[in-house]
Amino acid sequence: MPKLIKNGTIIGDNWLPADDTLEQPASNQIHTLSQWQALPEKSGSAVQLEPGDGVEPLLEHLTDIAVVAVNFPGFMDGRGFSYARELRERGYRGEIRATGHFIRDQLTYLSRVGCDAFQFADETLLEPALASLQDFSEYYQAAIDQPQPLFRRRA
Amino acid sequence: MYVYDKVDQKIIDERVAQYRDQTARYLAGELSEEQFLPLRLQNGLYIQRLAPMLRIAVPYGLLNTRQVRKLAWLSREYDKGYVHISTRQNVQMNWPQLPEVPDILAELAAVEMHAVQTSGNCIRNTTTDQFAGVAPDELTDPRPYCELIRQWSTFHPEFAFLPRKFKIAVCGSESDRAAIYAHDIGLELVRNDKGEIGLKVLAGGGLGRTPVIGSVICDWLAPRHMLTYLEAILRVYNQHGRRDNKYKARIKILVRAMGVDAFRAAVEKEWAAIKDGPSTLTENALAHAASFFTDPPYETLDGAAANRELADLCSEDAIFSNWVERNTREHRVDGYRSVTVSLKATGFPPGDITAEQLEQLADLADEFSFGEIRTTHQQNLVLADVRSADLHSLWQRLQPLGLATANIGYLTDMICCPGGDYCALANAKSIPVAEAIQARFDDMDYVYDLGPIDVNISGCMNACGHHHIGHIGILGVDKKGQEFYQVCLGGSQAKDASIGKILGPSFKQEDMPDVMEKILDTFVSLRAEEESFLDTYRRVGIDPFKERVYAEAD
């Protein structure tokens, strides 16, 4: 079973990775955006956003979706950070997992914008990455993990 | 100035620990070159031509003398005993060793300093007017806004991997000394019809390969909305800025491609979703930020008497008088003036200062200017609060340090990037060109007679020397492996901002002093009375300059 970090611990993952060559993805498969858009029933579904997709297509179904995988084909493309935060701001409560080629040094930022699961392309990176979740204990600006900016929390 | 509390200190300390671990992992081969690159950049570390370069942040150009002494000590301990003031008010060390950088950062953290986000595709150090808080033409002090932006932008989780770097400048005065029209976002403090202070927001300015003057996207924004509005702009840029071509990735290209109105509409749409949310600034937050930028304990002085005494001293000493006229300016408070310490002495790289000079200047700042030193984007230093009565003593003490060159705003006060002598990006050297021009125009009477002229030199298209907005701009270019220099005329960084126009084919390095001489001769022959170079250029256009400069070459 593939593994990922979820809510700070390493657990097994029941979802099959997105595969854009499939005509009929399995029910426990993460769908590409176009596969997902073709799904008649979105309840309990999982969909993957690529850089450039934007969150717009998901907004009508936020209560139905179980998992949004925000994919990072490369770690320098930061569009996914905005996607995660916008989904949370619009009220999405399901899982947001970062997938692909992000690096552990981005975990603070990814957690702050609302990602609660992390799936590396290389699973051996999971264990050492846990430490990076503890890099910072305080933040200046509001984000998903801490909706109050420091200036509202300073005594 | 701003003073860290426990939380600020904790954040910076945790960052040092994080980077120490990242450096260790890189050296152990656990982080690839490619992965380490943005991490070190966002901690200020470039790998340059000869050695790494560490760019230390000086938030909106403000330093206390404890910090200045620390910079001097660091430059001796970890470098070659000098530092460089950059065109974005930061301080650069040119020879640190990569494995030692975490130690340097820890030393900086001990004096409330860091190198956070001084490089990389993120929100950079916010810059402002070096005379903030003391300028007579100031509407309101921009520094509290800068500090709020510093805090908001530091480790902003959504905007650490933008398409490209992102620079914000704030200005609170009549004349723009922060070049806000040449920034990704420029903020100008202005009054609305009701007399309330707010922010005019410009976006999409920038230099580099495609110089653009910023466009107004909001005429007046209530200060409490500053951060949510910035967040909306950044979000539009982060999602829609181009990532396929680094030369087209700046926000100026996006604003142009969308058109200003469509860009504004996109920002307004994002803003509507977060406006009045938790990031809306509270009265308390604004007051708390402002509380750090109060007046030092000025004495109550008789301004008229102080001016008379200064005039008397000047009439007795023409050299002192020159310095007072060029390097000091009017202060908001009677009996005080602001002093610019020139780092543009002939024979020294523009903007460089030695450890000893830093330490001596720190002593002088403690004695004469409430222990504060400011950096300027023109690569000089400022003692902002000097009593007029102390100017003569200060000037006498600056002279033996080589820090009394009386040229601020004049030809030899050139803005100049480190260029090909240091920088791996450069196409050509820039320091030797600056030095050759300074050496050619060593007659200060002639230089003063020319009036104020901004000469800006960049060693490549990245335009760190802001050549597009110099009255005379010089750009190093590579022509089949040879270093050549292109000249542009008529740029301006003021509120009447303009981008310089290219004069014609580029020149060899050794010809540059002659070229400058021809340009200046043309100006002198065409100027009406006391007209400035820029005014003359704007009146006569580029053709007379072109004819004269290229005439003999044909």
Question: Could you report how far apart the first and last alpha carbons of chain B are, in Å?
Answer: 57
pLDDT tens for each residue of B1-26: 999 999 999 999 999 999 999 999 99
Residue of chain A with shortest Cα separation from B157:
A109
Instruction: Single out the residue in B290, B317, B342 at which a domain terminates.
Output: B290
Can you read off the two tokens belonging to residue B122? 């993120």
pLDDT tens for each residue of B390-406: 999 999 999 999 999 99
Instruction: Single out the residue in B251, B271, B290 at which a domain terminates.
Output: B290
Count of domains in chain A?
1
B349-353, B421-425, B451-455: segment of lowest average pLDDT: B421-425
Same domain, B279 and B152: yes
Q: How far apart are CA B188 and CA B168, in angstroms?
A: 11
Same domain, B152 and B285: yes
Of the residues B159, B161, B243, B291, the best mutation for testing chain A's interface (the one with the most A CB atoms within 10 Å of its CB) is B161
pLDDT tens for each residue of B476-495: 999 888 999 999 999 998 88
Amino acid B265: pLDDT = 98
Residue of chain B with shortest Cα separation from A87:
B273
Same domain, B423 and B494: yes
Percent of chain B predicted with pLDDT > 70: 99
- Rounding to the nearest 10 degrees, give the CA dihedral for residues B413, B419, B423, B428: 170
Beta carbons within 10 angstroms of residue B411's beta carbon: 26
- Amino acid letter for position A56: E
Contact list, A106 vs chain B (CB under 8 Å): 160-161
Q: How far apart are CA B471 and CA B398, in angstroms?
A: 29
Interface contact B151-A150, CB threshold 8 A? yes
Residue of chain B with shortest Cα separation from A91:
B273
Query: How many Å lie between the alpha carbon of A129 and the closest alpha carbon of chain B?
Result: 12
User: Confidence class of residue B209 from pLDDT cuts 50, 70 and 90?
Assistant: confident
Same domain, B438 and B509: yes
The DSSP output letter for B494 is S
Can you read off the two tokens belonging to residue B511? 């010809």
Amino acid B286: pLDDT = 97
Residue A16 is part of which domain span? 3-153
Same domain, B139 and B199: yes
Pairing label, strands A95-100, A117-120: parallel
- φ and ψ of B334, to 5 deg: -55, 135
Q: How far apart are CA B357 and CA B353, in angstroms?
A: 6
Amino acid B494: pLDDT = 86
CA atoms within 13 A on the CB side of A88: 23
Paired strand residues for B216:
B202
Instruction: Name every residue whose Cβ is closer than 8 Å to that of residue B441 and which is 6 or more positions away in sequence.
Output: B411, B412, B447, B516, B520
Residue B492 is part of which domain span? 415-551
Mean pLDDT on B122-135: 97
For chain A, say whether B162 makes contact (Cβ under 8 Å). Answer: yes
Contact list, A142 vs chain B (CB under 8 Å): 277-279
Q: How far apart are CA B544 and CA B526, in angstroms?
A: 9
User: Does residue B57 have a pLDDT over 80?
Assistant: yes
Q: How far apart are CA A136 and CA A143, in angstroms?
A: 14
User: Does residue B383 have a pLDDT over 90?
Assistant: yes
Can you read off the two tokens belonging to residue B1? 């100035």
For chain A, say whether B18 makes contact (Cβ under 8 Å). Answer: yes
Same domain, B96 and B235: no
For chain A, say whether B365 makes contact (Cβ under 8 Å). Answer: no
Residue of chain A with shortest Cα separation from B160:
A78
Same domain, B97 and B170: no
Amino acid A15: pLDDT = 97
Which whole-number Å values give the CA distances from B402 to A53, B101, B360, B406, B432, in the listed order? 58, 30, 11, 11, 19
Contact list, A139 vs chain B (CB under 8 Å): 11, 155, 157
Of the residues B30, B34, B239, the best mutation for testing chain A's interface (the one with the most A CB atoms within 10 Å of its CB) is B239
Can you read off the two tokens belonging to residue B486? 């292109």
Instruction: Name every residue whose Cβ is closer than 8 Å to that of residue B45 and which is 6 or more positions away in sequence.
Output: B52, B53, B54, B55, B96, B98, B101, B115, B119
Q: How far apart are CA B200 and CA B172, in angstroms?
A: 10
Is residue B299 a part of any domain in this protein?
Answer: no
Is residue B212 a part of any domain in this protein?
Answer: yes
Residue of chain A with shortest Cα separation from B158:
A81
Same domain, B105 and B169: no
What mean pLDDT value characterizes chain B?
95
Give me the residue from A113, A137, A149 closest to B157, CB to CB.
A113
For chain A, say whether B273 makes contact (Cβ under 8 Å). Answer: yes
- Amino acid letter for position B257: A
Mean pLDDT on A31-50: 96
Paired strand residues for B455:
B472
Instruction: Single out the residue in B239, B265, B290 at which a domain terminates.
Output: B290
Amino acid B208: pLDDT = 84
Query: How many Å lie between the alpha carbon of A136 and the closest alpha carbon of chain B?
Result: 6
Same domain, B157 and B250: yes
User: Does residue B312 have a pLDDT over 70?
Assistant: yes
Q: Report the CATH number that the domain containing residue A101 is assigned in CATH.
A: 3.40.50
Chain A interface residues (partner B, CB cutoff 8 A)? 51, 54, 75-79, 81-82, 85-86, 89-90, 103, 105-106, 108-110, 112-113, 135-143, 147-152, 154
- φ and ψ of B227, to 5 deg: -75, -40
Among candidate residues B163, B248, B166, B262, the one with its CA nearest the CA of residue A52: B163
Can you read off the two tokens belonging to residue B17? 């620990």
Give me the residue from A86, A105, A112 closest to B39, CB to CB.
A105
Give me the residue from A79, A140, A152 closest to B152, CB to CB.
A140
- Amino acid letter for position B421: D
Give me the residue from B14, B18, B278 closest to A147, CB to CB.
B278
Can you read off the two tokens belonging to residue B25? 């992992």
DSSP per position, A12-61:
E--PBPP-TT-SS--TTBPEEHHHHHH-S--TT-EEEEPTT--SGGGGGG
Q: What is the 3-state secondary structure (H, E, C) of A92-148?
A: CCCEEEEEECCCHHHHHHHHHCCCCEEEECCHHHHHHHHHHHHCCCCCCCCCCCCCC
User: Confidence class of residue B51 from pLDDT cuts 50, 70 and 90?
Assistant: confident
Contact list, B243 vs chain A (CB under 8 Å): 51, 77, 79
Can you read off the two tokens belonging to residue B504? 């014609």
Can you read off the two tokens belonging to residue B34? 């490619």
Give me the residue from B14, B162, B239 closest to A54, CB to CB.
B239
For chain A, say whether B313 makes contact (Cβ under 8 Å). Answer: no
User: Does residue A1 have a pLDDT over 90?
Assistant: no
- Amino acid letter for position B111: V
Count of domains in chain B?
3
Interface contact B18-A135, CB threshold 8 A? yes
User: Does residue B552 have a pLDDT over 70?
Assistant: no
Interface contact A140-B235, CB threshold 8 A? no
Whether the Cβ atoms of residue B533 and residue B450 lie closer than 8 Å to each other: yes
Amino acid B58: pLDDT = 98
Mean pLDDT on B177-197: 96
ipTM greater than 0.90: yes
Is residue B326 a part of any domain in this protein?
Answer: no
Is residue B373 a part of any domain in this protein?
Answer: no
What mean pLDDT value characterizes chain A?
96
Q: Report the CATH number that the domain containing residue B150 is assigned in CATH.
A: 3.30.413.10
Same domain, B152 and B273: yes
For chain A, say whether B157 makes contact (Cβ under 8 Å). Answer: yes
Whether the Cβ atoms of residue B149 and residue A149 lie closer than 8 Å to each other: no
Of the residues A140, A145, A148, A152, the best mutation for testing chain B's interface (the one with the most B CB atoms within 10 Å of its CB) is A140
Is residue B322 a part of any domain in this protein?
Answer: no
Among candidate residues B172, B134, B147, B149, the one with its CA nearest the CA of residue B231: B149
Same domain, B17 and B159: no
Q: Write out the H or E segment, with its range, that includes residue B382.
A: strand B381-387
pLDDT tens for each residue of B495-549: 888 999 999 999 999 999 999 999 999 999 999 989 999 999 999 999 999 999 9
Task: Indicate the burial class of A10 (C-beta count within 10 angstroms; 0-12, 13-18, 19 or more).
Answer: middle
Is residue B361 a part of any domain in this protein?
Answer: no
Is residue B127 a part of any domain in this protein?
Answer: no
Q: How far apart are CA B542 and CA B473, in angstroms?
A: 13
Contact list, A135 vs chain B (CB under 8 Å): 14, 17-18
Among candidate residues A131, A133, A126, the one with its CA nearest the CA of residue A109: A133
Is residue B371 a part of any domain in this protein?
Answer: no
Mean pLDDT on A25-50: 96
Amino acid B47: pLDDT = 85
Same domain, B85 and B18: yes
